[in-house]
């Protein structure tokens, strides 16, 4: 059984969706870099062990990442799932977990990497928006996209309503992608990503239009 660690910094609604999905893999532990993250309570309620590794306690990014890396090794983790984890990871850490670490980002990547995606979508006047699950590489929000949830931007949407609507999609696609990794339906190989034995040409799409 695949052992999963979920890295969080905040509310942890995606962590909750992963817990509720009864995955084939086991969530072996949850790491937070923030003591106040509600995600820690969610994990504890579900009987999942937690580790608080506060970035502020470390002299630099590398030292913080080394502490997380050691915790992941101690838990014997196969897959790292970033779920609202708000720290940039060092190149060394990303390399160590290459092909074994995924993230969810609230935009249709490659559009709107980085922060404030909902407002930027509104400012541009886009009619479609959504979220992307992708492998993590050294370049921010640039690893291969595995799945996307797509929704239509309504005329009355603001950044808050969009964030809420995107979250609903996130809670569908993230557990699905993690389950595909747990069951081997998605595989990271030396020559790329396979989905059900075929090279993945484009992210799997889930639409709520
Ligand atoms: C989500 O919007 C996700 O796309 C982004 O951070 C947010 C985390 O939300 N990476 P939550 O903590 O899972 O509720």
Distance, CA of 167 to chain centre: 12
Closest ligand 1 atom, CA of 13? Answer: 14
pLDDT per position as a tens digit, 20-36? 999 999 999 999 999 99
Q: Is 76 exposed, middle or buried (0-12, 13-18, 19+ CB in 10 A)?
A: exposed
Q: How far is the CA of 82 from the centre of ligand 1 (A)?
A: 9
CA distance linking residue 177 with residue 72, whole number of Å: 21
The CB of 11 under 6 Å from ligand 1? The reply is: yes
pLDDT tier at 209, thresholds 50, 70, 90: confident
CB of 106 within 6 A of ligand 1: the answer is yes
pLDDT, tens digit, 9 for 90 and up, residues 69-82: 999 999 999 999 99
Please name the residue whose Cα sits nearest to atom 10 of ligand 1. Answer: 84
Instruction: Give the distance, in angstroms, between the CA of residue 46 and the centroid of all CA atoms in the same chain.
Output: 19
Other beta carbons within 10 Å of 195: 17
Cβ(104) to ligand 1 under 6 A?
yes
**By percentage, how much of the chain surpasses pLDDT 90?**
98
Q: Which two tokens stand for residue 31?
A: 């790491």
pLDDT tens digit sequence for 172-205: 999 999 999 999 999 999 999 999 999 999 999 9
Of 83, 161, 172, the one to substitute when testing ligand 1's pocket (max ligand atoms within 8 A of C-beta) is 83
Residue 54 pLDDT level (bands cut at 50, 70, 90): very high
Q: Is the pLDDT of residue 88 over 90?
A: yes
Q: List the residue whose alpha carbon is closest to atom 2 of ligand 1.
A: 106
Q: Does residue 208 carry a pLDDT above 90? A: no
Q: What gap in Å lies between CA 180 and CA 40, rounded to an integer? A: 25
Ligand 1 site-directed mutation target among 6, 43, 84, 103, most atoms within 8 Å of CB? 84
* Domains, in order of start, for the chain: 1-97 (3.40.50.170), 104-209 (3.40.50.170)
Instruction: Return the sign of the alpha-carbon dihedral for residues 103, 104, 106, 111.
Output: positive
Q: What is the pTM (predicted TM-score) of this model?
A: 0.97
- In this structure, what token pair is assigned to residue 121? 């979508």
Q: pLDDT tens for residues 136-182?
A: 999 999 999 999 999 999 999 999 999 999 999 999 999 999 999 99
């Amino acid at each position: 059984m695949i052992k999963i660690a979920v890295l969080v910094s905040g509310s942890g609604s995606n962590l909750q969706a992963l817990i509720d999905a009864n995955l084939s893999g086991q969530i072996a532990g949850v790491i937070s870099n923030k003591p106040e993250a509600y995600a820690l309570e969610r994990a504890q309620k579900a009987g999942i062990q937690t580790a608080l590794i506060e970035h502020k306690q470390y002299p630099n990014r590398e030292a913080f990442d080394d502490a997380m890396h050691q915790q992941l090794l101690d838990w014997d983790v196969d897959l790292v799932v970033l779920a609202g984890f708000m720290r940039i990871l060092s190149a060394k850490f990303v390399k160590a977990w290459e092909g074994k670490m995924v993230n969810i980002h609230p935009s249709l990547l490659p559009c709107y990497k980085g922060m404030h995606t909902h407002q930027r979508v509104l400012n541009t006047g886009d009619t479609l928006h959504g979220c992307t699950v992708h492998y993590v590489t050294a370049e921010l929000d640039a690893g291969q996209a595995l799945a996307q949830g797509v929704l239509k931007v309504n005329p009355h949407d603001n950044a808050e309503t969009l964030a809420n609507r995107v979250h609903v999609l996130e809670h569908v696609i993230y557990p699905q992608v993690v389950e595909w990794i747990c069951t081997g339906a998605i595989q990271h190989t030396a020559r790329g990503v396979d989905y059900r034995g075929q090279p993945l040409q484009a992210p799997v799409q889930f639409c709520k239009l």
